[in-house]
């Protein structure tokens, strides 16, 4: 999405990267003013409510200006970078002199987090950083105006005139704020009557609310953790520049946004729309574990050379076999048309935990894949999730999902359906337990499976048959030869 402002300068606007989403947060810039870019080069990474996406620039030239710093949420259609496409040299100012201005660094408390490591459930999750949400680009004040290069000479923007706060910070008059800002204040527990406005005509902005909810930075720009609603006072015995100790930071408020916000809303919608039923079965999977070890010892013999072999592979195949035997379970509820839509394909979702929140990418047409092909698809899904490259398209159109809670040492759970899907299978930890086998108590590899399903689509009998079939295949994996 580009705009030509003059013969030499092109502007790149925030595109719609999330199928109708209206905004995205700039996570990381890969270029700085003065850098040369080429058509197709990735210049930044942004996060929508669905995924993190890298944005390529559509032309060649020299970066003139980055309009927003990292951590800023930008509306679709806003210009985020301008590029000199005249073919001339980079700006005359030396790079080392212009870099501090062009990089537009955020304050210390808004610094971008360390490298994110989103991974598949069970492979560990890096701790995420919390940063204050930047103000929308539509309402700017002196703190939001991007810092251009000395030679860029952007059109001057009028700075809002300072507005005197209402009497006693708003006491006696109703604070002026837009509905989204009022909701934000309510979510953060901020009394708007105590917020000093900085917007035009005395309007309270989102940044004003965040500033009221967050302790003011110290002179060295180090954030001082404190209880969000406590008065911002410093005892006389404590130096003003001293950071708060762990004992003082009794609460931490984390803004809900991006993927986590979208996931939370989806889970609420699912929980209160689809009537959930969960059934459980505990099964001896010793033979399945032995088969996995046998394939690992000689993967080439079985056509798995170079592929990842783990219990999830055979669990996924067992679920696909059960769906093939009971296709009625693979459906969705169309509320608008009052219809049940049966799916003749299976897009198998695999729940993944990332620092941004829960993601559920799915394997398209998993029902048509051989076991080696399914292993390859699972491996690609894991690799993509680890790198944080899961695309919005990869999370669309799922029909059923598997969530592996066993990797955390959990026996089982009652999973919530992914919105629009009919069923979700939770897999518990696989561990040695005493089990009656051939009339004797022996240590066997045992796990517990839990199947949640939409009771509008799936009655108890159908749900029980599907879960029993999954257990039967895992108990005797040779059934894959006759049931497929």
Q: Active-site residue 455, yes or no?
A: yes
Beta-bridge mates of residue 65: 82
* Catalytic option among 276, 326, 437, 455: 455
Contact 147, 173 (CB under 8 A): no
The CA distance from 411 to 409, in Å, is: 7
User: Which residue numbers are catalytic?
Assistant: 455
């Amino acid at each position: 999405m580009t705009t030509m402002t003059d013969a030499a300068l092109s502007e790149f606007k925030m595109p719609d990267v999330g199928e109708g989403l209206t905004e995205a947060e700039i996570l990381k810039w890969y270029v700085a003013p003065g850098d040369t870019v080429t058509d197709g080069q990735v210049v930044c990474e942004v996060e929508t409510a669905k995924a993190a996406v890298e944005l390529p620039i559509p032309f060649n030239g020299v970066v003139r200006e980055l309009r927003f710093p990292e951590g800023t949420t930008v509306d679709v259609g806003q210009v985020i970078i301008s590029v000199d496409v005249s073919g001339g040299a980079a700006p005359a100012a030396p790079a080392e002199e212009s870099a501090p201005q062009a990089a537009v660094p955020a304050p210390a408390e808004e610094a971008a987090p360390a490298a994110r490591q989103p991974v598949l459930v069970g492979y560990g999750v890096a701790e995420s950083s919390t940063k204050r949400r930047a103000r929308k680009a539509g309402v700017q004040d002196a703190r939001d105006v991007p810092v251009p290069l000395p030679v860029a000479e952007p059109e001057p923007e009028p700075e809002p005139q300072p507005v005197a706060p209402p009497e006693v910070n708003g006491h006696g008059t109703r604070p002026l704020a837009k509905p989204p800002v009022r909701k934000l204040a309510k979510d953060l527990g901020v009394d708007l009557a105590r917020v000093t406005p900085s917007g035009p005509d005395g309007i309270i902005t989102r940044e004003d609310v965040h500033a009221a909810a967050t302790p003011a930075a110290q002179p060295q720009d180090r954030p001082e953790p404190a209880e969000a609603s406590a008065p911002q006072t410093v005892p006389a015995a404590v130096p003003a520049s001293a950071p708060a100790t762990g004992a003082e930071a009794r609460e931490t408020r984390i803004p809900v946004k991006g993927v986590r916000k979208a996931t939370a809303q989806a889970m609420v919608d699912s929980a209160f729309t689809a009537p959930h039923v969960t059934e459980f079965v505990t099964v001896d999977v010793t033979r399945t574990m032995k088969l996995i070890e046998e394939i690992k010892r000689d993967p080439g013999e079985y056509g798995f050379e170079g592929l990842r072999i783990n219990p999830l592979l055979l669990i996924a195949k067992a679920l696909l076999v059960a769906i093939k035997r009971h296709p009625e379970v693979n459906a969705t509820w169309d509320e608008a048309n009052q219809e049940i839509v049966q799916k003749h394909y299976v897009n198998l979702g695999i729940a993944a935990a990332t620092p941004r929140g829960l993601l559920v990418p799915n394997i398209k047409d998993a029902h048509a894949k051989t076991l080696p092909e399914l292993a390859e698809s699972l491996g690609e899904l894991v690799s993509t999730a680890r790198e944080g490259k899961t695309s919005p398209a990869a999370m669309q159109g799922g029909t059923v999902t598997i969530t592996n809670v066993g990797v955390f040492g959990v026996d089982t759970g009652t999973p919530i359906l992914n919105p629009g899907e009919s069923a979700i299978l939770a897999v518990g930890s696989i561990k040695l337990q005493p089990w009656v086998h051939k009339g004797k108590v022996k240590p066997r590899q045992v796990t517990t499976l839990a199947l949640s399903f939409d009771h509008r689509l799936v009655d108890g009998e159908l749900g029980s048959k599907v879960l029993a079939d999954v257990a039967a295949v895992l108990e005797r994996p040779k059934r894959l030869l006759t049931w497929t």
